Each structure stands twice: as C-alpha cells, then as structure tokens.
C-alpha cells in the first residue's frame, strides 16, 4: 500500500513541478509558443487529477491499518 501512495504522491508532485518549470519564463515576462502552454496545462491537469486518487488510496490505507489493528492475534 505504501508503494501505491508513493506513486500517487509522485503523480501529484512531479507534474506540478514540471508545470512550474514550464511556466517560469511566462512569470518573468517571456512569451512562449502555444504548444508549450498546452503542455503546461496538460501537466497541471495530470497533477490535479492525482489528488483524488491519492486521497482515496490514503483513506483505504488507513482503513486497512485500523482493520489490522482490530484483528485478534
């Protein structure tokens, strides 16, 4: 379960980091080709899409942890 949480966490962090790197020239006033902007928005949407997936995986991991702690040994 930790692996799944790590994959979804990286699925949030890495695309958002790449989005920031992609849009950094825009923040300082440089113009970008339209395809670069589209790639940036695409990466942003990937990162945002992983937030509910990570949340659902974290809730399920917590339920499994509680279920294991209640199980008699």
pLDDT at residue 71 in the model: 65
pLDDT at residue 63 in the model: 82
Residues 6+ apart with CB under 8 A from 46: 11, 15
pLDDT at residue 43 in the model: 95
Average pLDDT, the chain: 88
Q: What is the pTM of this model?
A: 0.77
Continuous H helices in the chain: 2-27, 34-70
**Residues 42-48: contacts with CB within 8 Å, 24+ apart?**
43/15, 43/16, 43/18, 43/19, 44/15, 44/16, 44/19, 46/11, 46/15, 47/11, 47/12, 47/13, 47/14, 47/15, 47/16, 47/19
* Confidence band, pLDDT 50/70/90 cuts, at residue 70: low
């Amino acid at each position: 379960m930790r692996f799944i949480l790590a994959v979804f966490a990286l699925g949030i962090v890495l695309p958002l980091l790449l989005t920031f790197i992609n849009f950094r020239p825009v923040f300082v006033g440089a113009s970008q080709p339209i395809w670069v902007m589209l790639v940036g928005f695409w990466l942003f949407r990937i990162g945002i899409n992983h937030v509910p997936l990570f949340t659902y995986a974290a809730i399920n991991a917590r339920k499994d942890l509680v279920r294991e702690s209640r199980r008699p040994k």
